[in-house]
């Protein structure tokens, strides 16, 4: 087993060309070390613009290791970065609890702006949520949306901080609707819109997925065992030329359960129906234990059952800053041309 220092140096060397490409395309946020695949399971090192985010998931880092990571990355990039270290190895821990190990400067914990595909994004190294407000492994899918949205009405489902919507707006979409049930996430999406004032404005719908997509798809909304449902925004049935479906692995609400392992169909079916004939549905599954071949077959079967013929099905893989030894990255993305 190589030392952490050796593994990190190898990872940085392997990214030399990629980093040049990313910088040239206006991207300054990427994964520098993907520990599970590069020799240190449970450790990730990400750059988000001016910030370096180191996260440990299995055990806390030694102070020497942390300092040597920062030294190697700064030498590789030729610039200083503001370090945030989140030790998440204890239950739900997001803070460097041991001040003798490391304490982030106040400046490092402030809200920052990072760039991807030439667009500005709000990033925050430490907050109540899981992620610094932008999932880096979805970069290639966002790039695809930016390149394929011109003139299209785009529906971004499970929008989170609306990165996909922002790419659609930048790609010339005629209309962009971002849908998520978390107002805090949509508020960051609005901030992302404001950070790119040259783009047309996006729309935001705060709603649970199930009632929203079922109304758009013109399907009934049924309550479970006759229970009274919470109120939800009313929407007219309609279809979109481009629909992006990127749900979390599991989430339960009063309206239904998002369960990517056991029931992808109940998410996919209404999303397919809300996609126009001749339109495109991009769908994702980020659950590592789901095999691409099984999931792809399930997706195609669901479309067939609905009588929606898939003209073409393409795969988007994460960029090489998310290497995968077995060529089975956890995040799987399919583009269905209907």
* Residues from 209 through 238 that contact ligand SAM (CB under 6 A): 209
Q: Which stretch binds ligand SAM (CB under 6 A): 214-222, 250-258, 297-305, 320-328?
A: 250-258
Q: Which stretch binds ligand SAM (CB under 6 A): 21-29, 61-69, 251-259, 275-283?
A: 251-259
310 binds ligand SAM (CB under 6 A): no
The residue whose two tokens read 């792809």 is: 296
Print burial letters for 210-248: b (CB count within 10 Å at least 16), e (below 16): bbbbbbbbebeeeeeeeeeeeebeebeeebbbbbbbbbe
Q: Is 297 exposed, middle or buried (0-12, 13-18, 19+ CB in 10 A)?
A: exposed
Percentage helix, strand, coil, to 5, in the chain?
30, 25, 40
322 binds ligand SAM (CB under 6 A): no
Q: How many CA atoms lie within 13 A of 137 on its CB side?
A: 18
- The β-bridge partners of 242 are 154, 280
87 binds ligand SAM (CB under 6 A): no
The residue from 38, 116, 208, 241 that contacts ligand SAM (CB under 6 A) is 208
Taking the C-alpha atoms of residue 10 and residue 4, their distance in angstroms, rounded to an integer, is: 10
Interface map 160-179 toward ligand SAM (x if CB under 6 A): x--xx---------------
Q: Is 95 exposed, middle or buried (0-12, 13-18, 19+ CB in 10 A)?
A: middle
- The β-bridge partners of 59 are none
185 binds ligand SAM (CB under 6 A): yes
The residue from 18, 251, 276, 292 that contacts ligand SAM (CB under 6 A) is 251
117 binds ligand SAM (CB under 6 A): no
Identify whether the C-beta of residue 185 lies closer than 8 Å to the C-beta of residue 209.
no
- Cβ 98 to ligand SAM shortest distance, Å: 30
The residue from 111, 118, 248, 263 that contacts ligand SAM (CB under 6 A) is 248
- Cβ 213 to ligand SAM shortest distance, Å: 9
Interface map 123-162 toward ligand SAM (x if CB under 6 A): ------------x--x-------------------xxx--
- Cβ 286 to ligand SAM shortest distance, Å: 7
Q: Which stretch binds ligand SAM (CB under 6 A): 102-110, 180-188, 297-305, 310-318?
A: 180-188
Q: Which stretch binds ligand SAM (CB under 6 A): 37-45, 97-105, 248-256, 309-317?
A: 248-256
48 binds ligand SAM (CB under 6 A): no
Taking the C-alpha atoms of residue 118 and residue 260, their distance in angstroms, rounded to an integer, is: 32
121 binds ligand SAM (CB under 6 A): no
Q: Which stretch binds ligand SAM (CB under 6 A): 63-71, 94-102, 243-251, 272-280?
A: 243-251
Print burial letters for 160-175: b (CB count within 10 Å at least 16), e (below 16): bbbbbbbbbbbbebeb
Closest by alpha carbon to 161, among 175, 249, 138, 140? Answer: 138
- Residues in contact with ligand SAM, counted by CB under 6 A, come to a total of 18
Taking the C-alpha atoms of residue 67 and residue 38, their distance in angstroms, rounded to an integer, is: 19
Ranges assigned E (strand) in 101-141: 112-116, 119-123
Residues that bind ligand SAM (CB under 6 A): 135, 138, 158-160, 163-164, 180-182, 185, 208-209, 246, 248, 251, 253, 258
């Amino acid at each position: 087993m190589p030392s952490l220092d050796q593994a990190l140096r190898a990872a940085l060397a392997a990214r030399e060309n990629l980093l040049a490409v990313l910088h040239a395309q206006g991207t300054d946020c990427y994964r520098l070390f993907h520990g599970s695949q590069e020799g240190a399971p449970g450790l990730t090192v990400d750059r988000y613009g001016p910030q370096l985010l180191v996260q440990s998931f299995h055990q806390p880092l030694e102070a020497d290791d942390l300092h040597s990571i920062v030294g190697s990355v700064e030498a590789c990039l030729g610039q200083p970065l503001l370090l945030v270290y989140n030790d998440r190895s204890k239950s739900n821990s997001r803070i460097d609890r041991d001040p003798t190990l490391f304490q982030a400067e106040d400046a490092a914990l402030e809200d920052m702006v990072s760039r991807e595909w030439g667009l500005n994004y709000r990033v925050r190294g430490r907050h109540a949520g899981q992620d610094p407000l932008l999932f880096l492994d979805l970069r290639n899918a966002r790039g695809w949306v930016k390149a394929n949205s011109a003139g299209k009405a785009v529906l971004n489902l499970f929008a989170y901080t609306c990165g996909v919507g922002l790419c659609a707006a930048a790609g010339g979409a005629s209309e962009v609707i971002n849908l998520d049930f978390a107002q805090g996430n949509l508020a960051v999406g609005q901030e992302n819109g404001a950070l790119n004032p040259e783009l047309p404005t996006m729309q935001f719908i705060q709603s649970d997925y199930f009632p929203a997509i079922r109304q758009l798809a013109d399907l009934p909304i049924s309550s479970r065992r006759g229970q009274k449902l919470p109120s939800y925004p009313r929407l007219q049935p309609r279809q979109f030329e481009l629909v992006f479906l990127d749900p979390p692995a599991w989430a339960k609400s009063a309206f239904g359960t998002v369960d990517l392992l056991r029931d992808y169909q109940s998410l996919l079916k209404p999303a397919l129906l809300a996609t126009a004939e001749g339109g495109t549905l991009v769908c994702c599954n980020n659950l590592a234990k789901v095999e691409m071949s099984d999931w792809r077959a399930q997706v195609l079967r669901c479309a067939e059952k609905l009588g929606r013929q898939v003209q073409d099905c393409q795969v988007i893989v994460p960029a090489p800053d998310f290497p995968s030894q077995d060529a089975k990255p956890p995040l799987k993305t399919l583009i269905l041309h209907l």
